[in-house]
Amino acid sequence: MLEKRVWRDFAAVTFSVAVLGLGLGSTLPLTALVLNARGIGPDVVGWMVAASALGGIAGTLAAPAATLRFGRRAVMLGCVALAAGSVMPLQYVSSLWAWTALRLLFGASMAPLFVLGEAWINALPSDAVRGRVVAIYSTSFTLCQVMGPLLTNALSHFPNSVFLICGGVFLLGAPGIALARDGAGSGQQSAGSAAQSEKVATASWLAIARRAPAIIAGAAFFAAFDTIVLSFLPLVALNDSFSQSRALTAAAVVMAGDATLQFVGGALADRFGRARVHLICGGLMCLLLPLLPLMLRVPVLWAVYLYLLGGVAGAVYTLSLVASGEYFSGAALLRASGLIALTWNIAATLGPIATGVAMRLIGNSGVAAVLWLLAVGFCVVLVRSEGRARMHR
Tens digit of each residue's pLDDT (9 = 90 or more) over 286-332: 999 999 888 888 878 888 999 999 999 999 998 988 888 778 776 77
Q: Is the pLDDT of residue 144 over 90?
A: no
- Taking the complete model, does pTM exceed 0.75, yes or no? no
Region at 330 (left for phi over 0; alpha for psi -120 to 50; beta for the rest): left
Question: What mean pLDDT is reported for the chain?
Answer: 82
Q: Is residue 194 part of a domain?
A: no
Q: Is residue 173 part of a domain?
A: yes
Q: Is residue 190 part of a domain?
A: no
More confident residue, 260 or 392: 260
Q: Is the pLDDT of residue 197 over 50?
A: no
Max mean pLDDT among 66-75, 216-225, 266-275, 335-344 falls in: 216-225
pLDDT at position 302 is 87
Q: Is the pLDDT of residue 379 over 90?
A: yes
pLDDT at position 201 is 59
C-alpha 25, offset from chain centre: 10
Q: What is the pLDDT of residues 202-240, one digit of tens each?
A: 667 778 778 888 889 999 999 999 888 878 888 888 877
CATH number of the domain bearing residue 29? 1.20.1250.20
Q: Is the pLDDT of residue 280 over 90?
A: yes
Encoded amino acid at 6, one letter: V
- Identify the CA nearest to 377 among candidates 222, 206, 208: 222
- Beta strand ranges found along the chain (DSSP E): none
Percent of the chain residues topping a pLDDT of 90? 21
Residue 328 φ/ψ, nearest 5 degrees: -130, 160
Work out how many domains the chain is built from and give that number. Answer: 1
pLDDT at position 182 is 60
Q: Is residue 188 part of a domain?
A: no
Task: Tell me the three state secondary structure of residue 99.
Answer: helix
Q: Is residue 284 part of a domain?
A: yes
Task: Tell me the three state secondary structure of residue 328.
Answer: strand
pLDDT at position 3 is 60
Grade residue 56 by pLDDT with cuts at 50, 70 and 90: confident
pLDDT at position 206 is 79
What distance, in Å, lies between the first and last C-alpha atoms of the chain? 29
Q: Is the pLDDT of residue 344 over 50?
A: yes
Grade residue 336 by pLDDT with cuts at 50, 70 and 90: confident
pLDDT at position 308 is 94
* Segments forming the whole domain that contains residue 94: 4-181+200-391
Q: Is residue 189 part of a domain?
A: no
Helices (H) and strands (E) in the chain, counts: 16, 0
Q: What is the pLDDT of residues 165-174, one digit of tens each?
A: 989 999 998 9
